Amino acid sequence: MASTQLQMTNRLLRRLREDQVTGTTFSQTSQLVAEFLCDAYEFVNDAHMWVSLTHTVKVDIVPGTTSYDLTRFVSAGGNVRNSSTRVCLPESELVFIQNQPQLNVYADDAAVYPYPINFVEPGLFDDIAGSLRDNTAADPWYCTIRRQTSGSTSRLFLQIYPIPTVARVFEIDFITYPTLWQSDGTTDAVEILIPERPVYLYALMTALNERGEEIGEPGNIAERNFTIALGVAIEKDMNIEQRGDKYDWERV
């Protein structure tokens, strides 16, 4: 199970020989360590497109409905199943393998083989929907992902054509960047979604620098450990991608 921000904060506090806390804002020291973890999380998150950020969104296709909100659970007014672990953000990216987006339509949850469907960009989708005569069908032939903005609110929608007449299950794989940690206590229980070790070691390196230990053996070891840990984590992730034939990686 992934660690939370509070758990990692206490791990760092133990390493620094400080008292553990019940919340990251409990003391000035714990809040400072939490700030180091925020920086570390953002840095490591930006260093690579991690496989662990991939998730599958499940949407129940309803007869007569062609547009589905992917940025909210059903309980919050969207169309993503509440049992799903994550919803999309407006900036979420489709997962492509061998130049094909990973999306499938199934008859139901027990089905093994998906129905074929064509993914097209929004402009072509509009042209197709406006030119074809068939407005309804048991299974949609075309789909697109569209970002729509209303005022300050932006959402991601799945759109299908023709109008479905039968209930189906739509599964789509996305890469969605995580909710980054804050140092104000609001994300204490939020679990980390990327490799923990480089995040921990980056924060430890920063904490040692703060204490003036960046010069000498402790600081050198901390920086070296972080660099190695980040490289190893990225290499492991690249190997996962290669086994999945997502695309050929270029090692620099």
- Which string of DSSP letters, residue by residue, matches 149-191? EETTEEEEEEEEESEE-S-EEEEEEEE-------SSSTTTTPB
pLDDT band at 145 (very low <50, low <70, confident <90, very high): very high
**Above 70 in pLDDT, residue 11?**
yes
Q: Are residues 28 and 73 in the same domain?
A: no
Q: What percent of the chain has pLDDT over 90?
A: 72
- What pLDDT is recorded for position 158? 96
CB distance 122 to 142 below 8 Å:
no
Tens-place pLDDT, residues 30-40: 999 999 999 99
Instruction: Tell me if 166 is assigned to some domain.
Output: yes
- What pLDDT is recorded for position 149? 85
Total domains present in the chain: 2
CB atoms within 10 A of CB 248: 7
- What pLDDT is recorded for position 40? 97
Tens-place pLDDT, residues 63-81: 999 999 999 999 999 999 9
Q: Are residues 44 and 70 in the same domain?
A: no
Separation of alpha carbons 55 and 65, rounded Å: 24
CB distance 68 to 79 below 8 Å:
yes
Q: Are residues 83 and 102 in the same domain?
A: yes
If you average pLDDT over residues 136-165, what whole number do you get? 90
Task: Say how many CA atoms lie within 13 Å of 183 toward its Cβ.
Answer: 16
In this structure, what token pair is assigned to residue 236?
């492991």
Q: Are residues 25 and 41 in the same domain?
A: yes
Instruction: Tell me if 107 is assigned to some domain.
Output: yes
Q: Which domain holds residue 71?
A: 53-175
